[in-house]
Amino acid sequence: MTTPPIAEVDLLLSSKSPRRRELLQQIGVRFKCISVDVPEQRQESEEAEAYVCRLAQSKAQAGYTAAPELKIPALGSDTIVVCDESVLEKPHDEQHAIEMLCTLAGRSHRVITAVALCDAHACETVCSITEVKFRAISEHEARRYWLSGEPADKAGAYGIQGLAAVFVESITGSYSAVVGLPLFETHQLLERFNVPVWKQN
């Protein structure tokens, strides 16, 4: 993707995620990526939804603070997987990923994605919750999937838009939210901050 000139940018994206970049490009948002450093550490007794919303808001605020001279909103987003009230984020290593996938196998889990937009005057956050059901997955399959390299940077150790699509028996809710950015809710936020869509970069 070619980054448009600064003068043509309507939004800052506080994320390195290629999936979020692709989703924003899909709906024609003119944006510039900006790198932010926000610790992804869940606080003691913090509810899963509150945690993911806090991270999204912190990323959006950090993005806007990094380039206030542009005077355009910044978008932050975060995604977690929740199974049996346990929060599954990115795996630490191979064994951790295999444990996650075996936990998700043959059952349903929730994918919670929060999106926040921030400018000089306001910061608003929305949250999308999607239910995903996996078929049975053997430990051998989980290990082969890890070797593909795909699970390493994914919440819950899987990417629904990639090879892990074969694990998904059903989905109730927003597919794009599971990928990393719920486009319906994101568009609602963009409208409130006067960020246009359907533009050509």
Could you give the residue numbers annotated as active site?
78
SS3 137: coil
Do 199 and 29 touch, CB atoms closer than 8 A?
A: yes
> Looking at the chain, which runs of residues are DSSP E strands?
11-13, 31-33, 74-83, 86-88, 108-118, 123-134, 168-172
* Beta carbons of 79 and 180 less than 8 angstroms apart: yes
Contacts for 92 with CB less than 8 Å, ≥ 6 apart:
none
Strands 86-88 and 74-83: antiparallel
Residue tagged 């490009």 (tokens): 25
